Structure 1
Amino acid sequence: MSKKVLVVGVFDLFHRGHVEFLKKAASYGDELIILINGDEMTEKYKRRPIYSEQDRATILSAMSCVSLVEVTDSFDVKPIIEKHNIDIIVHGDDWEHESYLKQIRCTEEYLEEHGVSLAYTQYHSTVSTSALLQKIKES
């Protein structure tokens, strides 16, 4: 049985940092499933995305390491965990563990009951959508 990896994010203004993160996340298992935050959710949570959710899904689906892309308008990842029998969730280490659990609406107990582990990869703040937007504003 294949090991399924889940990553969650906006993935707007797709850049090298996203590519490196997704390749690293894919190395944790056999299938990489990406749950992207929908346009409405992203606008409420961060800002209006530059690329539509359909464009972001298309870009992500083009990566050879990606098995599936789905769009959500909910922070709760439990439905996707159960739908796809996720084994591991990977996120950047720019989040504290408890804050990230709260963000994805999960508890340690829930993850343990469903056999899901969390892994954090190194976050590179110099290669980010926020940094790109700032650079665009300054030019």
Structure 2
Amino acid sequence: MSQIVYVSGTFDLFHSNHLKMINYAKGLGDILIVGVSTDELVCSYKNPPAVPFEERIAIVEGLAAPDVVIPQHTLEHRGTVNKLNIDSFVIGDDWEGKYDYLKEEGVKVFYFPYGVGTSSTNLKKKIYEQYRALIKQSDEHPIPDPEGKGNE
């Protein structure tokens, strides 16, 4: 019987750790289902994603690993696990412990270690800091002398 794996995420500003987690999940079974959180779901617990849902799900659908990609409308996964006969559930380790309740449903739960480095949150911070530096640089400049004096 096929082992069905479900991996869950927002997948905002898609980066290499997202890809590593999806590929890791693919290696745990025969069929990989990826749930991409809708904008409404993400906004229920944190700031809106930078990339709209339609684009995020299209990016994940374009990957080789997923067999099926579906919208994810809730953080409560009992229904999804039971409807889709999920054997294993994978999510980033920033959610450590939050999905242990799925073990009661007979599901193996894996918290993928993102480790240090790339995350959507870190990417957003870096982009913001670079943007602020650019604005500061463009706003802080000497005011030219309209008569051309002192520019010699």
TM bin, normalised by shorter chain, reads: 0.7 to 0.9
1:126 aligns to what SS in structure 2? coil
C-alpha distance in structure 1 between counterparts of 2:26 and 2:46, whole Å: 26
Equivalent AA in structure 2 for residue 8 of structure 1: S
Q: Contact 1:88–1:116 (CA<8 Å) still a contact in 2?
A: yes
Query: What corresponds to 1:80 in structure 2?
Result: 80
Quick check: 115-124 or 27-36, which moved more?
A: 115-124
Question: Which of residues 94, 99, 102 in structure 2 aligns to 1:101?
Answer: 99
2:5 aligns to what SS in structure 1? strand
1:19 aligns to what SS in structure 2? helix
Query: What corresponds to 1:30 in structure 2?
Result: 30
Tell me the CA shift for residue 32 of structure 1.
1.1
- Are 1:124 and 2:86 matched, yes or no? no
Tell me the CA shift for residue 66 of structure 1.
0.5
Q: Percent sequence identity over matched residues?
A: 34
- Greater Rg over alpha carbons, structure: 2
Query: What corresponds to 1:50 in structure 2?
Result: 50
Tell me the CA shift for residue 124 of structure 1.
2.3
Count of residue correspondences: 130
| Residues 21-57 of structure 1 deviation map (CA, whole Å, 9 limit, x = unaligned) | 1111111111111112111111121111111211111
Tell me the CA shift for residue 73 of structure 1.
2.2
Q: Unaligned regions of 5+ residues in structure 2, if any?
A: 131-152
Query: What corresponds to 1:39 in structure 2?
Result: 39
The TM-score with structure 2 as length reference comes to 0.78
- Are 1:138 and 2:129 matched, yes or no? yes
Equivalent AA in structure 2 for residue 12 of structure 1: D
Q: Contact 1:125–1:131 (CA<8 Å) still a contact in 2?
A: no
Q: Unaligned regions of 5+ residues in structure 1, if any?
A: none
Tell me the CA shift for residue 107 of structure 1.
5.0
The TM-score with structure 1 as length reference comes to 0.85
Task: Return the structure number with greater relative CO, CA threshold 8 A, min gap 6.
Answer: 1
